[in-house]
Every structure is written in structure tokens, then in C-alpha cells.
Amino acid sequence: MKKLFNFLFILFIAIGCNSIKPTPNVVFILVDDLGWNDLGYSGSKFYETPNIDALSSESFQFTNAYSASPVCSPTRASIMTGKHPARVNITDWIPGVDPKNKLLLGPKDLDYLPLEEITIAEKLKESGYKTFYVGKWHLGSKGFYPEDNGFDINIGGFEKGSPMGGYYSPYKNPKLLDGPEGEYLTDRLTDESIALIKENGKNAPFALFLSFYNVHTPIQPNLEYLDYFEKKLLEINDNSVRTKLEGEAITRINQTNAKYASMVYAVDKNIGKLIKTLKDNGVYENSLIIFTSDNGGLTTQKKVAPTSVYPLRAGKGWLYEGGIKIPQLIKPPENIKNEKINDLTVSYDLFPTILDFAGIENNEKIDGVSLMPRLKTQSKIDREDIFWHFPHYHGSKWKPGSAIRSGDWKLLVHYESNSIEMFNLIDDPKELKNISSVFDEKKQTLLNKLNKLKNETNAKEVSINPNFKN
């Protein structure tokens, strides 16, 4: 009887152990300035992204995903902390620009991510993860680098938001050794990531944050693919550049840039290489993969921009849909069928989502909402509203303002003109018809909600420029 009891006990333990799922790896892929329809699966007819499209077929596709800001540094801060950019007091790209002869002065925000902020890397690291950061950081200079914020290894992450030496070696990057002549930066960052995955093996769960500099300016094509897209462009009937006015700027409304297409394709090829490595090393199925962008595509500026997110209005730097709507895929650590999610999500949701999948409790006060319940049980995401606060001038010719989306409704407040716009995004996805004067009660409700959210996050306001001259 004792032998039988011992046997059954051991069998029980063995079954219990086998039922415990291994801790998932985290692979976070961030593409700089990637527009919501710069990809094959999201609607591009000129750019080609077969590997990302394949990933989308095994992922949840978020059709109403938003960046936390229309520019990079605030969104990156929100991803790292799970907080709204206003709460972290990083509301402009670092260091930002405050034009001298403008009516308003933007609030003084931070040029670094404060070390007292608890980052996603720190949460993962204290739970046994190896944490790797590869690529663009743009959240502070020396003393505030990724390795100061919970990452075991940092390759390529420093204070600059664009590749100082361009996309070909020498890179002029203090955190990245120069490669051989002709080496393309996107290839190099992927190769570094692959080496980290292989070196880590299956010894411990890892979290890789791969932050490509592509497709940020300068627009330097990947010469390996440029000829292909130039020939493809010639085969398109309407291959001329088309634009429309947007305030003091112009917005590109068609995708006909072969150089930009080659940069997008370079990202895609490297994501294919990365996924193959995950599969070859037996860690793909047990990896949470997140693919997204930090803001809308660069479509609107004083001169012709490199890409288009039409029919969305405007682009990077603006609080219209083109500046804040982004692609987002989440592949959980298991095989699933493709599914589209229409719920409103925002960049700071990814912090609690990662922790939930990793089984890590979060005790920090954050603004993000975990998406895991929505993915697991299809329960509604517990959020009514999303708001944006960009009280700064931008090189795209945007002027200081804030915005809120509540359900199908969206309201924008323009501080310089002291004006309000309101749109119903279902009826008017291009944001062309301002109906703020028609639905006065709705306008006031949204304005009250916006002001309440700004107060809750300690959002700093603009001030009158005493030196302004007409």
C-alpha cells in the first residue's frame, strides 16, 4: 500500500509539473514612424511586407490601435512605464523645439525618462527575465540609457532619435560598433538580436525589445531592394505624387516612394529572419510577440513627405487620425487563428499586457489596461476614453492642442486659435466635417471628459509667449 501511495504521489507531482506552462519569452518589435497602412495586411498596394503579413495571420490584429502621442519620445515613455505621457511629463520628442516667434510656449517637459519610474524591463528582470534592448531609445542621454532602466544589455540605444551616421556604417552611435562598409543598420540590429537569442538559448526567459530606426528620416533606401521598387513604380498607372493642403503644410495622399518602400521591405525581411531564428531555436511558440509603431506615418510637412496614410487625415505630429493611428499585432505564446480586434487600444496598454502574459503582478499606478482578458475571453476592454496631449509646435506645422476619443466621437482643442473640432469617426473617418456646432451637448461632455483626464494626469498647459511679435 505504501509503495502504491508513493507511486501515485510521484505521478500526481509529475502530471502537475507537466501542466504548468513555461514562462513565455517576450519579443517586442517597434518600427519608428511606421504608418497604419504601410503594410500589406493593412492595405498597402505598393509596399511589400510578406513576413509581417504572415505574422498577422497568426496574431490578433488591432484595427483601432493608437499611439500615446503623435511623436516618438512620449509614446516610448508610455510603453516603458504603462503611463500616459502627461503623467510622466514627457509630452514632446526629446529635446523638442519651442519656436521663438510663436504665440504660445509649450510647457517645460523632461528630456529623459526619470529613473524613479518603474519600467517594463525592471518588472521583467526582477522576475527572472534576461532583458535586451536593441536599437533606438530616445529617452535620455548618458545615465538614462536602457541599461539604467532595467535592461541587461543595450545595443544601439542612446539619446538621438535618428541614426546620426545614416543607415549605412559608420553609424556614429556610441552604443553600436561600426560594421563593414556598406552594412545596413536594420540588418545589423537584427543580427545583434539574433545573436542574443541564440546565446540565451532556453536557459532563462528573455525579453527582447527590438526598436528599429527605420523608417525614420533620413530616407536612405536599402540599395539591395531599391531597383525592384523603382521598376515596380514604373508599372503603376498613377505613379505621380499627389498631395492636399493641411493648414500651413501639405499631406501626401498616395504611396509612390520607391526609397521608402525599400526601407519598409528591409524591416520586413529582417523580421522574417528574426522569426526564423525563434522557430529554429524552439522558442517561437512560447514567445509573446508584439509588433507596433510609435506614431503615425510621416505624411504631412512643409515639403512632400515620404509616405501616405490616406484616407486618414494628416500624419506624424498631428492629432488627426493619421498622426496617432498605428498598426499593432499581438501573437500570444500559443498557436491561434487570426482575429481582428476593433476595441480602442493605446500604447500604454502594452505594459500591463506583457506582465499579464508573464504572470507578473503589477502594483504600480498606471494608465494602461491589460489586453489579455480581451484576447483570452473576448471580454470588453475596460475603458471608455483615450486622450492625447500635445501642447507643442511641431515641424509638421501642427500647433499646440489636445484631443479625446470617446466611442465613435472625437474632439480636438486647438490652443492657438482657441477653437474646437468634433467628428463622428464612423460617419466621417477622414475627419472632414466639423460638427461641434451641431451637437453642442456632446461637445461639452467630451470637453469636460478631456479636462478631467488632463487634470488626473497632471498635464501641463501652454502659456502666452511674452516675446511674440506679429
- For 422-461, how does the pLDDT look when each residue is reduced to its tens digit (9 = 90+)? 999 999 999 999 999 999 999 999 999 999 999 999 999 9
The C-alpha cell at 119 is: 519600467
Is residue 297 a contact partner of residue 254, using CB atoms and an 8 Å limit?
A: no
- How far is Cα 397 from Cα 286, in angstroms, rounded to an integer? 44
* Residues 29 and 289: beta-carbon distance below 8 Å: yes
CA-to-CA distance for 301 and 323, rounded, in angstroms? 12
8 Å CB contact between 430 and 313 = yes
Percent of the chain clearing pLDDT 70 (strictly above): 95
- Crossing angle of the two packed helices 185-200 and 258-280, in degrees rounded to 10: 10
Positive or negative torsion for Cα 171, 176, 178, 181: negative
In whole numbers, what is the pLDDT of the chain averaged over residues?
Answer: 93
**pLDDT confidence band for 379 (50 / 70 / 90):** confident
375: Cβ contacts below 8 Å, ≥ 6 apart: 60, 330, 332, 341
In this model, does residue 100 exceed pLDDT 90? no
Mean pLDDT of 36-58: 96
The confidence score (pLDDT) of residue 382 equals: 79
Query: Average of pLDDT values for 74-83?
Result: 98
pLDDT at 237: 83
Which cell numbers in the block locate residue 60?
Answer: 490578433
Task: Check residue 21 and give its pLDDT.
Answer: 67
DSSP annotation string for 103-121:
SEE-----SS--TTSPPHH
Distance CA 309, CA 52 (A): 18
Give Cα separations from 6 to 16, 20, 67 (angstroms): 15, 22, 56
Q: How much is the average pLDDT of 155-169?
A: 97
Nearby residues of 137 by Cβ (< 8 Å), 6 or more positions away: 76, 145, 146, 154, 156, 157, 158, 159, 211
pLDDT digits 0-9 by tens, 197-208: 999 988 789 999
CATH architecture, range 21-381: 3-Layer(aba) Sandwich (3.40)
Higher model confidence: residue 16 or residue 208? 208
pLDDT value, residue 263: 98
Region class of 82: left (phi > 0), else alpha (psi between -120 and 50), else beta: left
pLDDT at 18: 42
Domain regions of the chain by residue span:
21-381
- pLDDT mean over 54-80: 97
Q: Could you say which DSSP state residue 43 is in?
A: T
Q: Are strands 345-346 and 339-341 parallel, antiparallel or unpaired?
A: unpaired
Residue of higher predicted confidence among 362 and 98: 362
Residue 168: phi, psi to the nearest 5? -120, 140
pLDDT tops 80 at residue 107:
yes
C-alpha 199/C-alpha 155 separation (Å) is 15
Distance CA 210, CA 460 (A): 31
Which pLDDT score is estimated for 217? 97
pLDDT, average across residues 269-287: 96
**What pLDDT shows up at residue 338?**
80
pLDDT of 244 > 70? The answer is yes
**Residues 161/395, Cβ–Cβ less than 8 Å:** no
The SS3 assignment for 454 reads helix
Per DSSP, what are the bridge partners of residue 463? 105
> Is 4 a residue whose pLDDT tops 80?
no
Task: Please report which confidence band the pLDDT of residue 172 belongs to, taking 50, 70 and 90 as the band edges.
Answer: very high
- pLDDT, one tens digit per residue, over 126-138 is 999 999 999 999 9
Q: What percent of the chain has pLDDT over 90?
A: 88
CB 77 within 8 A of CB 139: yes
Cα distances (Å, whole numbers) of residue 400 to 11, 205, 368, 389: 65, 43, 24, 9
For the cut 80, the answer to whether the pLDDT of residue 282 exceeds it is yes
pLDDT for the residue numbered 365: 93
